[in-house]
Amino acid sequence: MGVGTIVLYVGCMFAGKTSRLIETLEVLATKQTEMLIIKHSSDDRYSSEPVLVTHTGKQYPCVPRKTLMPLLEQPEFLNSSAIMVDEGQFFPDLYDFARISAECYGKDVYVGALDTNYKRKLFPEIAKLMAISDETHKLFAKCYYCGSKALFSMKLDESIKEHIGGADMYRAVCRKHYCSNV
């Protein structure tokens, strides 16, 4: 068995990470590639059914999971040649899962993830994975306040403890507006 690849799409909130995963997914679908699409199990912001919805409205079912390693011996994993992980920062075992999937099972692994939280603290699993990825694409949003390149996620109310929370609690902001609001 050959080895696969690891491709990351990272950036702040609203940077289009999931959209890039969907674009990749649509390309792979035209090649009849068997795909396993994984979302974090408590990510129910956009739909009660775990699906990725393309711009044309086509829905791809996702497997909801809290951790990834138990998938390694599952039929849906073994039968897929491409593995997609959305919201990768939420998985505590992402690094090992992606590495083993690519290096021991020959899978092509695509991950969309925040690189840091709103305090610009690195997500360790993402930082480690960036170091061994074939490709890391840093994506950007538009600053909510001035429209220039947004690098960071800013939380509107520090007192709200919600872990995943609604996207409406966050703004994508440029460096200048991040610095003027923290």
Greatest alpha-carbon pair distance for the chain in Å reads: 52
Q: Is there a catalytic annotation at residue 87?
A: yes
Rounded to the nearest 10°, the torsion over CA 161, 50, 123, 182 is: -40
Cα distances from 47 to residues 51, 88, 127, in angstroms, run 7, 18, 29
Q: Which is nearer to Zn ion, 98 or 154 (CB)?
A: 154
Among 23, 34, 76, 87, the one annotated catalytic: 87
Dist CA 107 CA 98 (whole Å):
9
Phi, psi of 171 (to 5 degrees): -125, 145
Does residue 177 bind Zn ion (CB under 5 A)? Answer: yes
Query: If we measure between CA atoms, which residue out of 17, 22, 16, 56 comes closest to residue 37?
Result: 22
Single out the residue of 14, 105, 140, 145 in contact with Zn ion (rule: CB under 5 A). Answer: 145
Q: Which is nearer to Zn ion, 12 or 62 (CB)?
A: 12
Q: How far is the CB of 142 from Zn ion (least distance, A)?
A: 9
Binding pattern for the stretch 86-125 against Zn ion, x by CB under 5 A and - elsewhere = ----------------------------------------
- 148: which 2 tokens? 């220039």
Does residue 12 bind Zn ion (CB under 5 A)? Answer: no
Binding pattern for the stretch 42-61 against Zn ion, x by CB under 5 A and - elsewhere = --------------------
Rounded to the nearest 10°, the torsion over CA 105, 106, 108, 110 is: 30
Alpha helices in the chain (DSSP H): 17-30, 75-78, 94-103, 124-132, 175-181
Question: Which residues, numbered 146-175, are part of the site for Zn ion (CB under 5 A)?
Answer: 146, 174
Q: Which is nearer to Zn ion, 98 or 174 (CB)?
A: 174
Does residue 141 bind Zn ion (CB under 5 A)? Answer: no
Q: Which is nearer to Zn ion, 4 or 11 (CB)?
A: 11
Does residue 140 bind Zn ion (CB under 5 A)? Answer: no
Footprint of Zn ion (CB under 5 A): 143, 145-146, 174, 177
